[in-house]
Structure 1
Amino acid sequence: MTLGMINAHPVVHAKKERVARSEDLHSDDALDALDVFDSVRDIKDPEHPYSLEQLSVLSEESIAVDEKLGRIKITFTPTVKHCSMATVIGLCLRVKLIQSFPPHFKVDINVSPGSLADEEAVNKLLNDKERVCAALENPSLRQLVDECLYSNELYSL
């Protein structure tokens, strides 16, 4: 059903093939952008039965990892400038990273510059621990985040 959607007919891209990585090439256990991308690529969009990868909201190139400084930076691009789900997408990314990687990593999640009308407010919320915790205490919002994170096997296309 497309009633009320801001982007009722998004452009859907094919999923990229997962890269098989040799243990020899990645034996130092250093975290890199591909590790992070593999952990978040299948998050389902809140409005559509497609992954963030399929909608080009997220790509490996939009992720930076600095293992030495313990930083992960993700920049995502909503499909439309007035995306009402940008905050939910960012919360999904944050929750998935918290669940997937050690807590010593500092995570920065931002909207691509110029891609969202209220990018400053969304970026501020997504990078403020207290605001994130408060948002995730809302049962309806938490349920939406959980659906995006855990229903991806139902929507694999």
Structure 2
Amino acid sequence: MTVGLCNANPIVHPRKQRVARTEHLAHSSSAVDPLDVYGDIRDPEHPYSLEQLSVLSEDSITVDDNLGRILITFTPTIQHCSMATVIGLCLRVKLKHCFPPHYKIDIKVSPGSHANEESVNKQLNDKERIAAALENPNLRQLVDECLSSNEI
């Protein structure tokens, strides 16, 4: 057991096998299928991906190429997860690198999954707060570590 973690013993699920979904990409203006992106993001507290911890699933990602909009709803592993905003920031940074800049990205915690749901959602979608967070060198380093695919 690790001391100091919010969820010291998370339930870890096996990774799913990825199958190329060419029908999505053939009808999409985006070059990346978001379902291929989420499994590459590591949890800020554990050496597992968000997929392995069931923080994200295929059903929690919606891409509307016609409107240029991405909606992600994620479920923290515990109600008082102090890393929920970091997870959301990781998702935003990863998707900003994978999709054209005209896409609007909305990120939210699943309804009822976090004790401070409204506050977390507000932070995750406030441009000024996001910019300020990414200017913090320690926070930026944590985000970069979570996005480093060789960590998983």
TM range (shorter): over 0.9
Alignment match, 2:10: 10
Alignment match, 2:147: 149
Q: Are the aligned partners of 2:107 and 2:125 in contact in 1 as well (CA < 8 Å)?
A: yes
TM-score in terms of structure 1 length:
0.91
Q: Are the aligned partners of 2:25 and 2:33 in contact in 1 as well (CA < 8 Å)?
A: no
Q: Residue deviations 1:78-134, cap 9 Å, x none?
A: 000000000000000000011110001010000001000111111101101111000
What RMSD in Å do the two structures reach over aligned CA positions?
1.7
Q: Are the aligned partners of 1:31 and 1:65 in contact in 2 as well (CA < 8 Å)?
A: no
Alignment match, 2:81: 83
TM-score in terms of structure 2 length:
0.93
Distance 1:104 1:79, change over 3 A: same
Superposed, which structure 2 residues align to 1:62-101 within 5 Å? Answer: 62-101=60-99
**Rounded Cα–Cα distance in structure 1 between residues aligned with 2:25 and 2:92:** 24
Q: Are the aligned partners of 2:92 and 2:107 in contact in 1 as well (CA < 8 Å)?
A: yes
Q: Residue deviations 1:61-90, cap 9 Å, x none?
A: 001111111110000000000000000000
Amino acid at match of 1:122: V
**Rounded Cα–Cα distance in structure 1 between residues aligned with 2:2 and 2:24:** 45
Alignment match, 1:124: 122
**Rounded Cα–Cα distance in structure 2 between residues aligned with 1:63 and 1:146:** 21
Q: Secondary structure at the match of 2:40?
A: coil
Q: Which runs of 5+ in 1 are unaligned?
A: none
Q: Which runs of 5+ in 2 are unaligned?
A: none
* Residue 38 (structure 1) aligned to one of 2, 13, 36: 36
Q: Are the aligned partners of 2:42 and 2:151 in contact in 1 as well (CA < 8 Å)?
A: no
Distance 1:61 1:25, change over 3 A: closer
Q: Secondary structure at the match of 1:108?
A: strand
Q: CA deviation at 1:21?
A: 3.1
> What is the total number of aligned residue pairs between the two structures?
152
**Rounded Cα–Cα distance in structure 2 between residues aligned with 1:89 and 1:48:** 12
Q: Are the aligned partners of 2:89 and 2:130 in contact in 1 as well (CA < 8 Å)?
A: yes
